[in-house]
């Protein structure tokens, strides 16, 4: 029972998404997820605190990789360029998991409790990215604004990509196009002293 | 007991903030809030569903006023200009309630549950502002990006203002300065095709 199970985490995530899709999130139990993955409940709880966390395990990976990307941005650090590099990384990671990411998104959107959890995870990612920028010497409020603007691009681009009916868009490209859109939208704002 | 109480809502909010400051959010009961306000528990529950909601009653007002500001923005609608007009309104409303807003912020920041509630309220405000822009004919993703960028400015500016030790900054001015910062931060991002 306590033996090492190859890719237990991934198998549990896959089984959970299958079951959430088939019979609904509320109706699925941890026991069923474990059974579908060919694992025990005990193995489940070695990897996830509860049923909800199966959907959010990936955010730890994103958190790590994105802050690493900001830390690795070349000197001198242009805050939005460092954030764009992090979004490129997110685009590649999620593109590789496209089917899983889309199914997960459908489950999360359908449940207020999960949408709230997602908001919290994204807010914590934004805070981590701002922290990584400050580590690189970017002052406030530029660090927080760049991180928040990056999360705005992330959210909007991810939704466009997840909703794409043709299903052939590349997330990194959608992120880049959305970043360009953000730049043009913000540039269009007249300063208070300017005529509109 | 069921009689009309002048400004019961405001008195309850004020009493709650006093008590949260004096003895802590968890340690304060609805009965104590009502007593401090010189009102009954019954009156409390006519205005608020629970203790937590005393802190979030104001967000309904913000929600209404900000979407109205977007709806009233002059033609042709420049999305960020409409959002900037909404932020001006938020700046004026919160500046008038400065002391209360700062005390409220201290309570919210100290409790994970309240921080989460705040995130949810701000996400719903962002969605409402994007909706108001779409009503005015702004296409996606510009509508969502402008709304999200506006919320980024709101969050960062509000924090700067609430943390200002001298306590003499004007929130509308801080919002405008932060908007200018956002424009400069996003403009600094090289497009993928550009050299950095």
What does the pLDDT look like over A142-191, one tens digit per residue?
999 999 999 999 999 999 998 877 778 899 999 999 999 999 999 884 44
Number of H helices, E strands in chain A: 9, 0
Structure confidence at residue B60 as a pLDDT band (50, 70, 90): confident
> How many whole angstroms separate alpha carbon A160 and alpha carbon B140?
10
Residues 6+ apart with CB under 8 A from A90: A62, A65, A66, A154, A171, A175
Q: What is the pLDDT of residue B4?
A: 65
Residues in B whose CB is inside 8 Å of some CB of A read: 74, 78-81, 83-84, 116, 119-120, 123, 141-142, 144-146, 148-149, 151-153, 155-157, 159-160, 176, 178-183, 185-192, 196
Contacts 24+ apart (CB under 8 A), A153-156: A153/A87, A153/A178, A153/A179, A153/A182, A153/B145, A154/A87, A154/A90, A154/A122, A155/A122, A155/B144, A155/B148, A156/B141, A156/B144, A156/B145, A156/B148
Neighbours of B183 (CB within 10 A): 20
Structure confidence at residue A3 as a pLDDT band (50, 70, 90): low
Token duo for residue A30: 């941890």
- pLDDT of B166 strictly over 50: yes
Residues of B in contact with A191 (CB under 8 A): 176, 179-180, 183
Residues in A whose CB is inside 8 Å of some CB of B read: 74, 78-81, 83-84, 116, 119-120, 123, 141-142, 144-146, 148-149, 151-153, 155-157, 159-160, 176, 178-183, 185-192, 196
Structure confidence at residue A31 as a pLDDT band (50, 70, 90): very high
Closest CA to B38 of B64, B82, B3: B3
For A132-141, what is the mean pLDDT?
Answer: 95
Residues of B in contact with A179 (CB under 8 A): 189, 191
Q: What is the pLDDT of residue B50?
A: 93
Structure confidence at residue A196 as a pLDDT band (50, 70, 90): very low
- pLDDT of A2 strictly over 60: no
Contact between A40 and A1 (Cβ < 8 Å): yes
List pLDDT tens digits, range A39-79: 999 999 999 999 999 999 888 889 999 999 999 998 888 99
List pLDDT tens digits, range A71-99: 999 888 899 999 999 999 999 999 998 88
Contact between B50 and B62 (Cβ < 8 Å): no
- pLDDT of A193 strictly over 60: no
Residues of A in contact with B109 (CB under 8 A): none
> How many whole angstroms separate alpha carbon B147 and alpha carbon B132?
9
- pLDDT of A194 strictly over 50: no
B58-186 sits in which CATH class?
mainly alpha
Size of interface A-B (CB pairs under 8 A): 131
Q: What is the pLDDT of residue B3?
A: 59
Architecture of domain B8-49: Orthogonal Bundle (1.10)
Q: A40 to chain B nearest CA, in Å? A: 33
Residue B157: φ, ψ to 5°: -65, -45
- Output the average pLDDT for chain B: 89
Q: What is the pLDDT of residue A4?
A: 65
B167: region left, alpha or beta (phi > 0 left; psi from -120 to 50 alpha): left
Contact between B180 and B188 (Cβ < 8 Å): no
**Would B8-49 and B58-186 be classified into the same CATH topology?**
no
Q: What is the pLDDT of residue B1?
A: 45
Element (H, E) at B134: helix B112-135
Interchain pair A74, B196: CB under 8 A: yes
Minimum Cα–Cα distance from A196: chain B residue: B81
Percentage above 70 pLDDT, chain A:
93
Nearest to B185 among A145, A176, A181 (CB): A145
Torsion over CA: B51, B54, B55, B61 (sign): positive
SS3 content of chain B, % helix, strand, coil (to 5): 70, 0, 30
Contact between A39 and A5 (Cβ < 8 Å): yes
* pTM for this entry: 0.87
Q: What is the pLDDT of residue A136?
A: 94
> How many whole angstroms separate alpha carbon A126 and alpha carbon A128?
5
Neighbours of A6 (CB within 10 A): 6
Interchain pair B189, A123: CB under 8 A: no
- Output the average pLDDT for chain A: 89
Kindly provide the ipTM of the predicted complex, given to two decimals.
Answer: 0.85
The domains of chain B are located at 8-49, 58-186
Query: Which string of DSSP letters, residue by residue, matches B5-68?
Result: -TTHHHHHHHHHHHHHHHH-TTT--HHHHHHHTT--HHHHHHH-SSTGGGGTHHHHHHHHHHHH
């Amino acid at each position: 029972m306590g033996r090492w199970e190859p890719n237990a985490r991934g198998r549990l995530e896959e089984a959970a998404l299958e079951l959430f899709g088939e019979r609904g999130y509320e109706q699925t139990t941890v026991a069923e997820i474990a059974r579908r993955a060919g694992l025990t409940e005990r193995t489940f709880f070695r990897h996830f605190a509860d049923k909800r966390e199966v959907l959010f395990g990936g955010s730890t990976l994103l958190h790590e990789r994105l802050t690493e990307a900001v830390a690795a941005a070349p000197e001198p650090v242009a805050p939005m360029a460092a954030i764009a590099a992090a979004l490129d990384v997110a685009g590649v990671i999620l593109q590789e998991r496209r089917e899983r990411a889309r199914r997960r998104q459908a489950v999360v959107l359908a449940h207020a409790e999960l949408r709230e959890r997602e908001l919290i995870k994204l807010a914590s990612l934004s805070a981590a990215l701002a922290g990584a920028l400050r580590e690189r010497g970017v002052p406030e409020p530029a660090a927080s604004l760049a991180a928040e603007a990056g999360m705005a691009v992330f959210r909007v681009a991810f939704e466009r990509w997840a909703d794409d009916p043709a299903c052939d868009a590349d997330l990194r490209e959608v992120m880049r196009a959305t970043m360009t859109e953000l730049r043009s939208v913000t540039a269009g704002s007249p300063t208070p002293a300017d005529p509109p």
